[in-house]
Amino acid sequence: MSIELQTKYGQIDISNDVIATVAGGAAVDCYGIIGMASKKQFKDGIAEILRKENFTKGVIVRQEEEEVHIDMYIIVSYGTKISEVAHNVQSKVKYTLNKTVGLAVDSVNIFVQGVRVTNP
């Protein structure tokens, strides 16, 4: 599937995988994020940290009529305030997708799949 954007110059089709990769990259840059997790824990392993090339397994992009919704599955660092980390991820993902792709995202839903202790 892809997202279709209409501009004054014509139509642009953006793959959901591209949107998921950009969103995942923006999320892992946030403070308190250890990494992205798979949306299918039981199949892929419990709270497995995904590599950069597999961000699409931890991000779901949905388009309902004219609205775009993103579901993200993350692993946070132990000792951080989960609500603040989630809010920062939501803000950064919305901002990054708007600036890099020109896509206005209506909602970014965060699902915390685990908490990990980071190495000092």
Kindly report, residue by residue over 65-120, the tens digit of the pLDDT: 888 999 999 989 999 999 999 999 999 999 999 999 888 899 999 999 888 886 65
Span 29-39, pLDDT tens digits: 999 998 888 77
Q: Closest Cα to residue 81, out of 52, 115, 43, 58? A: 115
> What are the C-alpha distances in Å from 1 to residues 14, 18, 52, 60, 94?
9, 11, 21, 11, 20
Pairing of strands 67-77, 107-116: parallel
Supply the pTM of this predicted model: 0.82
- The domain total for the chain is 1
User: 57: domain CATH number?
Assistant: 3.30.70.1350
Residue 14's domain spans which residues? Answer: 2-116
- Predicted confidence at residue 100, as pLDDT, reads 92
Pairwise CA distance, residues 7 & 59, whole Å: 26
Output the six-digit token pair for 40: 């299918």
CA atoms within 13 A on the CB side of 25: 12
Pairwise CA distance, residues 32 & 114, whole Å: 12
